[in-house]
Amino acid sequence: MPKAKTLFFTSIGKVEIRETTLPHLKEDEVLVETICSAISAGTEMLVYRGEFPHLADAHDIISSDLNYPLAYGYACVGRVKETGKRANRSWQDKLVFAFQPHTSHFITKTESLIPIPQSLSPESACFLPNMETAVNLVQDGAPILGERVLVLGQGVVGLLTASLLSEFPLESLVTADFYELRRETSMGISGVTSFDSSLTSFHKDFLAYAQGKFDLTFELSGSPLALNDAIELTTFSGRVVIGSWYGKKQAEINLGGTFHRSRIKLISSQVSTISPELSGRWDKSRRFDVAWKALERIEPEKWITHKFSLNDASKAYQLLYENPQETIQVILEYKV
Residue 288 belongs to a domain: no
Residue 258 belongs to a domain: yes
Same domain? For 135 and 264 the reply is yes
> What 8-state DSSP symbol labels residue 127?
T
Same domain? For 136 and 243 the reply is yes
Same domain? For 57 and 103 the reply is yes
* Torsion sign across C-alpha atoms 242, 161, 229, 224: positive
Instruction: Give alpha helix (H) positions in the chain.
Output: 43-48, 122-125, 128-141, 156-165, 180-187, 202-210, 226-232, 259-262, 284-298, 313-322
Residue 54, pLDDT > 60, answer no
CA distances from 11 to 71, 74, 100, 321 (A): 12, 19, 20, 14
Same domain? For 86 and 183 the reply is no
Q: Which of 250, 268, 286 is the last residue of a domain?
A: 268
- What are the DSSP calls for 27-95, one per residue? TTEEEEEEEEEEE-TTHHHHHHTT-----S--SSSSSSS--SSB-----EEEEEEEE-TTS-GGGTT-E
pLDDT given at position 252: 85
Which domain CATH number covers 87?
3.90.180.10
Amino acid at site 299: E
Same domain? For 196 and 316 the reply is no
Same domain? For 41 and 156 the reply is no
Query: Strands 76-83, 29-39: parallel, antiparallel or unpaired by DSSP?
Result: antiparallel
> What 8-state DSSP symbol labels residue 24?
P
Cα separation, 330 vs 336, in Å, equals 20
Beta-bridge partners for 114: 97
Residue 122 belongs to a domain: no
Q: How confident is the model at residue 66 (pLDDT cuts 50, 70, 90)?
A: confident
Residue 175 belongs to a domain: yes
Same domain? For 135 and 261 the reply is yes
Residue 180 belongs to a domain: yes
Same domain? For 206 and 303 the reply is no
257, 220, 223: which is closest to 240 by C-alpha? Answer: 220
126, 62, 71: which is closest to 328 by C-alpha? Answer: 126
pLDDT given at position 247: 77
Cα 302 to chain centroid, rounded:
16
4-26 tens-digit pLDDT: 999 999 999 999 999 989 999 99
CA distances from 197 to 169, 182, 224, 236, 324 (A): 25, 12, 14, 22, 16
Which domain CATH number covers 220?
3.40.50.720
182, 310, 222, 185: which is closest to 41 by C-alpha? Answer: 222
Same domain? For 111 and 138 the reply is no
> What 8-state DSSP symbol labels residue 236?
E
Residue 62, pLDDT > 80, answer no
248-296 tens-digit pLDDT: 778 788 888 888 889 999 999 989 899 999 989 999 999 999 999 999 9
Residue numbers of the domain that contains 165: 130-268
Residue 283 belongs to a domain: no
Residue 286 belongs to a domain: no
Same domain? For 143 and 263 the reply is yes
Same domain? For 94 and 140 the reply is no
Residue 287 belongs to a domain: no
Predicted TM-score (pTM) of the model is 0.93
159-215 tens-digit pLDDT: 999 999 999 999 999 999 999 999 999 999 999 999 999 998 888 888 888 888 999
Same domain? For 138 and 236 the reply is yes
Number of folded domains that form the chain: 2
